[in-house]
Structure 1
Amino acid sequence: MKGHNFKHMKTTYLLIAFLTALLATANGQDYQHAVKIKPFGELCISYKRITGFEKGYEVMLSDLENGYSVTGLMVHHTPVLPRKSSKWFFTYGYGAHAGLFHQYEVYNPFRPFDPPREINRRYVALGLDGSAGVEYRMLRHPFLFSWDVNPNIEFLGPDVFRVNIYSNLGVAFVF
């Protein structure tokens, strides 16, 4: 097992223990704050603050395969089936990110089946982000489950223009 994956597992278990300890003091849904962990693929920890009627902001810290990224998003929530269920919400947002990375890959478009070249060089990446996903809110418990897709466009980095798409499952403690 790689050291990097072991670090993810250790951090994930610590965060789950922390969220479980807070369970006794929490209320149900219609939350204003959420602390979310997305442990699959990339490790991402985020804080969401709802400031208005199903609108707010989210700040995410991601431990990606080749570095770290901080993302800020304006988020919006819309009920998926407002007449049938108050548990499912469609989420979407937009914002920006800054990242520090230590490696990148270069693909040759004229040889699509060749493996990419890995270049070990540190760089800073800046770009614009989007987010779209679904939330399932547990009405009697202070947790929600989410699945989201986060595409971003980097304008500063090893390439002049780069598009990334991240998808992840998450669990959040809400209060």
Structure 2
Amino acid sequence: MKHKLKHLYIFLVFIFTLAQHSHVKAQDYKTLIAYKNGAGPGFMAKKLLPNESAFSAQIIFKQGGFTLGAFRTFHEVAFPKKNSQYFFYYGYGTHFRYYREYTSKNIFKPFRPGMKRRGNYVALGLDGILGIEYRFLKYPFVLSTEFNPNFELGGANYFKVNLNMFTAGIAYTF
């Protein structure tokens, strides 16, 4: 828990320092830097293109290691007749993952504790991404939540499907 709070504290100090020394308005959403938490704490940088598509890169810290990901996303207004501040986004990407610890569970004995495996594991994977974000009109901040299903080749199981990758984030736009 202290580790997650440390990441959040560093991100917030960085954002507020950046906000004080720049003259940015919320409508200048061209680049985004985010702190994300859920599947693991991490950071994301996103570059929005003129046609409401974007390229993004992220790093997530989990299981004694990290995951580096790159995505191509497409943004659309989620509720065009009700509110233009909510944006729905979807896309695809890839990731590289390194981790030192893995917990495997027997699906036929769900109440038994998982077995921990330790070692150095490397995996490559393909990702999908589906999310919604709320853009503030007067302030250069964005709140988001996303679902990031993926599958990996390599690692402790040689093939793994991850469907529990939900994250929430706060971002600064400039």
Q: Same fold judged by TM-score > 0.5?
A: yes
Q: Which residue does the alignment assign to 1:32?
A: 30
In the TM superposition, residue 40 of structure 1 has moved relative to its aligned partner by: 4.5
CA distance in 1, matches of 2:144, 2:157: 32
1:99-132 C-alpha deviation (Å, 9 max, x unpaired): 1100112223443332221111111011111111
Identity fraction in percent: 32
Q: Which residue does the alignment assign to 1:163?
A: 161
- Residue 11 (str. 1) matches residue 7 (str. 2): yes
Letter paired with 1:141: Y
Q: Which residue does the alignment assign to 2:80?
A: 82
In the TM superposition, residue 70 of structure 1 has moved relative to its aligned partner by: 0.2
Query: Which deviates the most, 108-117 or 14-23?
Result: 108-117
In the TM superposition, residue 41 of structure 1 has moved relative to its aligned partner by: 5.0
Does structure 2 conserve the Cα–Cα contact (< 8 Å) formed by 1:146 and 1:169? Answer: yes
- Residue 61 (str. 1) matches residue 59 (str. 2): yes
Change (3 A) 1:135 1:50: same
Q: How does 1:1-175 map to 2 (within 5 A)?
A: 5-24=1-20, 25=22, 26-40=24-38, 42-164=40-162, 165-175=164-174
Q: CA RMSD in A?
A: 1.5
1:66-118 C-alpha deviation (Å, 9 max, x unpaired): 42100000011110111222100111121010011001122234433322211
SS at match of 2:79: coil
CA distance in 1, matches of 2:28, 2:80: 15
TM-score, scaled relative to structure 1: 0.91
Change (3 A) 1:89 1:121: same
SS at match of 2:13: helix
Query: Which deviates the most, 101-110 or 115-124?
Result: 101-110
SS at match of 1:11: helix
Letter paired with 2:97: G
CA distance in 2, matches of 1:173, 1:64: 23
Does structure 2 conserve the Cα–Cα contact (< 8 Å) formed by 1:148 and 1:169? Answer: yes
